[in-house]
Structure formats: structure tokens, C-alpha cells
Structure 1
């Protein structure tokens, strides 16, 4: 399956937002899931089998990673029993973490150029 992720995803960490992305990638299970999805998109059942954890656990982490914008549904496959399976892929090749708001960063840049 052909899936081309974006070049990078920027996450701004400030008091109001961004912690979801860090929380989503902080667990070992989430990191194993991402390692599987880096190569090719997969449905949750394939990911669970590849990393040796329960489907319920993988689904929990996939939901968190999707909510954080780190992975994205890329296709629908059908199981042998004709059930729909969402296929997930990474949303971007790089995750860039910025501390503070983007507005603050712009203001800092302006101060540095004077």
C-alpha cells in the first residue's frame, strides 16, 4: 500500500496544549506501534500481532496517537469475516517539538534581529 506521510508535524508545547502529543508517544507500547507503522500502514490487529500485545491495548494507543495527530487513518481493509478494519499510517516523518507558543517564538525572533 502506498502511503506518503507529511514531511514534519510541529507540536507547540505551552500551558494550554501540546502535552497530548508527548503523552501519546511516552509509553513503550506507543513507541513499538510507531516503529511498526514507520515501515508501512497496518490495521490494529496486525500491529497487535507484530508487537505481541492485546488488540484492546493497541486500540487504546492508536486512538491516543490519532487524537494527537501523530498517526492517521489511511485506508479501510476487510477481514476474512468481511469486517471493516481501519488501516493506520504515520502522519509525518518527523515530529518537531516547540516549547512555548508560536506567537512567543515569533516575538523572540523579532527581538533577536534588532
Structure 2
């Protein structure tokens, strides 16, 4: 049965694609590694790389509760690994957030306090 509200909303998975180069001693890196510490979080991120999804869809795909998915999504969003890419409407007319991976690749580097900016540029050219 077709509803009045679209079940497929606009989903923006675009972005500039500029790679993030992080160093192991950066505060941002600690948050990123912490957000990926559990198998469930990694499964959620992998699921989103296959297709942008709602929390319910992710829960079904990785076989966990919606509450657990939302917990991990919060951590992944804080680490800039996942974004809210749009909305969809359920059959009951409820607005649901659609999540997608952040489009930019990232690299975590270890060692050397050398030319960090030059290294970031080298990584960027390598990924083009």
C-alpha cells in the first residue's frame, strides 16, 4: 500500500572526498579508534558503506537492537565516520534519519614529528 509520505527521502552521501590524515598522538585519533573498538561498531560502518540506512535497517542487518545501533551511531558520528545523510518516512509516517559513512577516507599515521602537512599532501595525491 502506498502512503502519502515518501518512504525514500533525499539522501546526500556526497562530500569533498579530501582524505583525513590523523596522527596517533592526536586527540581526534583517540576518539576514532575508541569508536571502532567493538565488532558491532565496525559491522555498522561496513553496513553503511554498502548502503545508507536507517537505525532499524542497520539493526536488522547486523542483528542487534536499535538501541545498540543508536549508541554506536552516536560514537561514529562524534568521530566523524558517519553522517546523517537524509530522512525517510516509515509506513506509519514517522520521520527516520538515514545514516551514511562520511565520504572522506582517513589514514592514521604513527611516528615522526616531521612535515605533517607535506605528508598529508602526499597521501592526498596518492588517493586521487
TM-score by length of 1: 0.78
1:1-114 matches, cutoff 5 A = 3-4=13-14, 6-14=17-25, 16-92=27-103, 94-99=105-110, 104-106=113-115
Greater strand fraction, Structure 1 or Structure 2: 1
Q: Note closer, same or farther for the CA distance 1:30–1:99 as it changes in structure 2 (3 Å cut).
A: same
Structure 1 residue 39, shift from structure 2 partner: 1.4
Q: How many residues align?
A: 106
Structure 1 residue 93, shift from structure 2 partner: 5.3
Query: Please, which runs of 5 or more residues in structure 1 have no aligned partner?
Result: 110-114
Alpha-carbon distance in 1 for matches of 2:111, 2:87? 37
Structure 1 residue 2, shift from structure 2 partner: 6.2
Structure 1 residue 51, shift from structure 2 partner: 0.8
**How big is the alpha-carbon RMSD for the aligned residues of Structure 1 and Structure 2?**
2.4
Alpha-carbon distance in 2 for matches of 1:87, 1:44? 7
The answer on whether the counterparts of 1:13 and 1:19 sit within 8 Å (CA) in structure 2 is: yes
